[in-house]
Structure 1
Amino acid sequence: MSGIGYTLPAVVALVAVVVLELAWLRTGLFRRPAYWISMVIVLGFQIPVDGWLTNLNAPIVLYDADHITGLRFPWDIPVEDFVFGSALVTAVLLLWERSGRGRRDHSPERRRDEVR
C-alpha cells in the first residue's frame, strides 16, 4: 500500500505531538508567534538542505516509492519530510517549554538575582 512506510508514521508523529500539547502539556506554544517564526526558520534551512539531498536529478537520499505518497515540493522534497520534521522540532520545543527552560524570565533584574 503506497505511503504507509513513511507517510503513516510521519502523520501519526505530528498528530501525537499536537494531541500531547493540546491534551496534556498545554504550554500554549501554538499561540506564540515565536513558535511560528521558529518553524519558518527551520523550513528556511530544511528546504535547501533537503532539496539537495532528495533532488531526483542526482539524489543522495532515495525513498522507496512504495513508502511515500509521491507528493514532492519544492525541489523534489517528499512532503513526508516536512511532516516528520515539524513533529520532531515541535516535540523538542514542547519538552523544552515543559522543562521550564523556555519560560525563564530574562529580565536584567532576574539575571542579577541569579548571579548572587
Structure 2
Amino acid sequence: MSGLGYTLPAVLAAIAVITWELVVLRTGLFRKTAYWLSIAIVLGFQIPVDGWLTKLSAPIVIYDEQHTTGLRFPFDIPVEDFLFGWALVTAVLLLWERQRQVRKEQA
C-alpha cells in the first residue's frame, strides 16, 4: 500500500488548512464552539451519505486500495475522506470568518 495517490493529498490538505489558519489568517476559528458544532453537523450528514457511497457490499464510489491506507471507519468509509472533507469545509469557514473580520475592521 503506497497510500500516495489519495492519502498524501488528504494529509497535505489538512496540514495546509491548519497552517493557513495558525500562521496566516489567525482568525481563532478553532477556538470557537460554533466551528466545532458545524463540524459535528457536517459529520452527521457525511457519515451516512459517504457510508452509503463507499460501502464495500455494493460500492458506488470505488477506491483503488493501493492508493489509500486501507483504513475504513465507520460504514466502510476510507478515513482519507474525512481529511478531505474537513479541509474543504474548514477552508470555506476560514474564508467566511476572515471576511467577517475584514468587514468589522472597515466598519
Give the alignment's TM-score, normalised by structure 2: 0.92
Percent of residue pairs identical:
74
Rounded to whole Å, the distance in 2 between the matches of 1:60 and 1:94 is 31
1:73-84 map, 5 Å: 73-84=73-84
Corresponding residue of 2:55: 55
1:61-100 map, 5 Å: 61-100=61-100
- Which amino acid is the alignment partner of residue 53 of structure 2? L
Q: Retained in 2: the 8 A contact 1:2–1:65?
A: no
Q: Retained in 2: the 8 A contact 1:72–1:79?
A: yes
Rounded to whole Å, the distance in 2 between the matches of 1:91 and 1:14 is 9
Instruction: Show structure 2 runs of 5+ residues with no match.
Output: none
Q: What is the deviation of 1:27?
A: 0.4
The answer to whether structure 1 residue 45 and structure 2 residue 45 are counterparts is yes
The answer to whether structure 1 residue 10 and structure 2 residue 10 are counterparts is yes
- Which amino acid is the alignment partner of residue 16 of structure 2? A
Give the alignment's TM-score, normalised by structure 1: 0.85
Rounded to whole Å, the distance in 2 between the matches of 1:2 and 1:53 is 23
Corresponding residue of 1:25: 25
- Tell me, what secondary structure is at the counterpart of 1:100? helix
Cα RMSD, aligned residues only? 1.6
Max radius of gyration: which structure?
A: 1
Q: What is the deviation of 1:55?
A: 0.1
What is the aligned length?
104
TM-superposition CA deviations, 1:41-99 (whole Å, max 9, x none): 00000000000000000000000011100000000000000011000000000011111
Q: What is the deviation of 1:100?
A: 1.5
Instruction: Show structure 1 runs of 5+ residues with no match.
Output: 105-116
Rounded to whole Å, the distance in 2 between the matches of 1:63 and 1:2 is 13
Rounded to whole Å, the distance in 2 between the matches of 1:29 and 1:100 is 12
Runs of 4+ in structure 1 over 2 Å off: none
